């Protein structure tokens, strides 16, 4: 229930004086205990339609909540990604009024779902784009912790954006939520996140950009699985239960079955949702893209882009049938040719500008493993890759040194062959932050796959290296851009 009062927020007349250049609607489009969102027009920029999120006045004077709001601004400004809502301008630390301005969206997912479930294609499209946004945040050490339909926005052409990083946490930074405070939204948030039970992050080398581990990502994976269920059924998970019973069902580890509400849908969707919403964080998908990939396979949709491999499938996905060693390439920002990189960036910027023509609006805060990566096949075969083995090797700990293919979040020692060691081992030299199977290849003319690696491993913003294997190396011949394909990239950073 909304228990805010008019004294909680500055009156509209005072806001207009503090926000010159913006013509605000007289009534907010949404209100919570912490903030309000007004639709407005930027009178200085061709009357562009925007949304302005304003913090409650009484909280703006509270050091802890003020710090949290400013951190949200910092995170959204720093996480540059086509599927993450961006900030046009914002308050500074010294301002009395804390606010930020965003483009306005056409709609949010919660509103769309009031009309019923999405069709399978739109569901896959929506989940896939949010998965890309979440994995980007995770790769930069940011956990969202409140993924739900109200925080998923639609721009022009159906482009999807993740918004509201108000309770987000950086894996290396301070958790600004209060002790005992619930985090996220019941039914969508995993219990270990909702009650603040998430395990403390593992220590990493100082100064290194530290992607979230699979266990740390697991809370957002759970939430994305809950959103998937809602998209497929038109109902929230455990919607038939009251709040207390729903929480009990989540704690008991039960995952709602899609086919109970939608018997017309394939039962494989039950498996995807059950894995995403598993009670044990370690048993969930290890990346959000892995969930999106299995979703597309479950509905028979192909051509969905790269799929990061994760624990439980990586050994099968990367296990070659011959003894040819994988090729190693040293890459980074300088490894991609400048003209090509600039062209790719220009294309991305143009796409973002077009997508944001209609803008984004921030709706109110409602009260409400295995990736299945495909196994590379012989290049002479036209058959689809076989399904991966679900077995997973045990984690490497202590002084162990294990010769095998690595998995995301593991570390390698400097050696001729893949040798996995514990990341806190003095022998650890390389941190594997991403594995991409069947990656997109924007420039097949490159036998060293620089542009493809740039696209798969993260592009601008940090130095990275990669190993790869392709169908030409597998049989010991030269790369043919017309017929050959890349099997995988193993993206890593030096420790």
By annotation, the residues acting in catalysis are: 146
* φ/ψ (deg, to 5) at 306: -65, 150
How far apart CA 63 and CA 48 sit, in angstroms, is: 33
Buried/exposed 30-66: b ≥16 CB within 10 Å, e otherwise = bbbebbbbbbbbbeeeeebbbbbbbbbbebbeeeebb
Q: What angle do CA 213, 65, 8 make, to 5 degrees?
A: 140
Cβ–Cβ contacts within 10 Å for residue 345, how many?
A: 12
Give the list of residues 6+ apart from residue 63 with CB closer than 8 angstroms, or none: none
Q: Say if CB 298 and CB 268 are below 8 A apart.
A: yes
Exposure string for 308-336, b = 16+ CB within 10 A, e = fewer: bbbbbbbbbbbebeeeeebeeeebeeebb
Give the distance, in angstroms, between the CA of residue 98 and the centroid of all CA atoms in the same chain: 27
| DSSP calls for 144-196 | ----SGGGEEE-GGG-EEE---TT-EETTS---SPTT---S-TTTS-HHHHTT
CA 199 to chain CA mean position, Å: 19
Measuring CA to CA, how many Å separate 16 from each of 23, 28, 31, 229, 276?
7, 13, 18, 41, 45
CB 37 within 8 A of CB 51: yes
DSSP letters spanning 405-451: ---TT-EEESSSS-EEE-TTSTTEEEEEEEEEES---S-TT-TT-HH
């Amino acid at each position: 229930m909304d228990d805010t009062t008019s004294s909680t927020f500055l009156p509209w007349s005072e806001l207009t004086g503090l926000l010159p250049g913006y013509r605000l609607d007289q009534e907010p489009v949404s209100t919570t205990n912490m903030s309000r969102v007004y639709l407005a027009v930027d009178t200085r920029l061709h009357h562009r339609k925007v949304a302005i999120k304003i913090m409650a006045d009484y909280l703006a004077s509270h050091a802890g909540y003020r710090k949290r709001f400013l951190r949200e601004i910092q995170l959204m400004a720093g996480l540059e990604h086509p599927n993450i809502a961006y900030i046009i301008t914002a308050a500074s630390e010294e301002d009395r009024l804390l606010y930020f301005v965003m483009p306005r969206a056409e709609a949010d997912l919660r509103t769309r779902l009031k009309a019923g479930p999405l069709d399978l294609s739109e569901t896959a499209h929506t989940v896939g784009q949010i998965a890309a946004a979440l994995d980007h945040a995770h790769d930069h050490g940011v956990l969202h912790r409140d993924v739900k339909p109200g925080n998923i926005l639609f721009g022009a052409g159906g482009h999807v954006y993740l918004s509201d990083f108000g309770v987000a946490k950086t894996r290396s930074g301070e958790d600004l939520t209060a002790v005992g405070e619930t985090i996220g939204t019941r039914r969508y948030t995993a219990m270990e996140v909702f009650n603040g039970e998430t395990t403390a992050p593992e220590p990493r080398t100082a100064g290194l950009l530290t992607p979230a581990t699979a266990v740390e990502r697991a809370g957002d994976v759970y939430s994305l699985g809950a959103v998937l269920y809602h998209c497929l059924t038109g109902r929230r998970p455990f919607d038939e239960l009251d709040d207390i019973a729903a929480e009990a069902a989540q704690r008991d580890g039960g995952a709602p079955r899609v086919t109970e509400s939608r018997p017309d849908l394939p039962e494989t969707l039950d498996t995807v949702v059950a894995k995403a919403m598993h009670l044990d964080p370690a048993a969930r998908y290890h990346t959000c893209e892995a969930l999106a990939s299995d979703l597309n396979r479950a509905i028979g949709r192909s051509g969905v882009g790269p799929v990061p491999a994760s624990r439980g499938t990586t050994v099968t996905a990367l296990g070659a049938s011959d003894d040819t060693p994988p090729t190693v390439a040293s890459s980074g920002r300088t490894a991609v040719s400048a003209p090509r990189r600039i062209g790719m960036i220009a294309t991305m910027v143009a796409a973002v500008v077009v997508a944001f023509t209609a803008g984004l609006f921030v709706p109110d805060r409602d009260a409400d493993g295995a990736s299945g990566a495909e196994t590379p096949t012989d290049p002479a075969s036209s058959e689809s890759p076989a399904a991966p083995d679900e077995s997973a090797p045990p984690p490497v700990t202590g002084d162990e040194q294990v010769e095998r293919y690595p998995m995301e979040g593991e570390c390698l020692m400097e050696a001729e062959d893949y040798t996995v060691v514990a990341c806190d081992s003095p022998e650890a030299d390389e941190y594997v932050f991403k594995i991409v199977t069947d990656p997109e290849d924007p420039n097949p003319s490159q036998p060293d796959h620089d542009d493809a690696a740039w696209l798969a491993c993260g592009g601008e913003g940090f130095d990275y290296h990669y190993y790869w294997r392709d169908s030409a190396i597998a049989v010991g011949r030269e790369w043919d851009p017309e017929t050959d394909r890349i099997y995988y990239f193993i993206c890593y950073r030096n420790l």
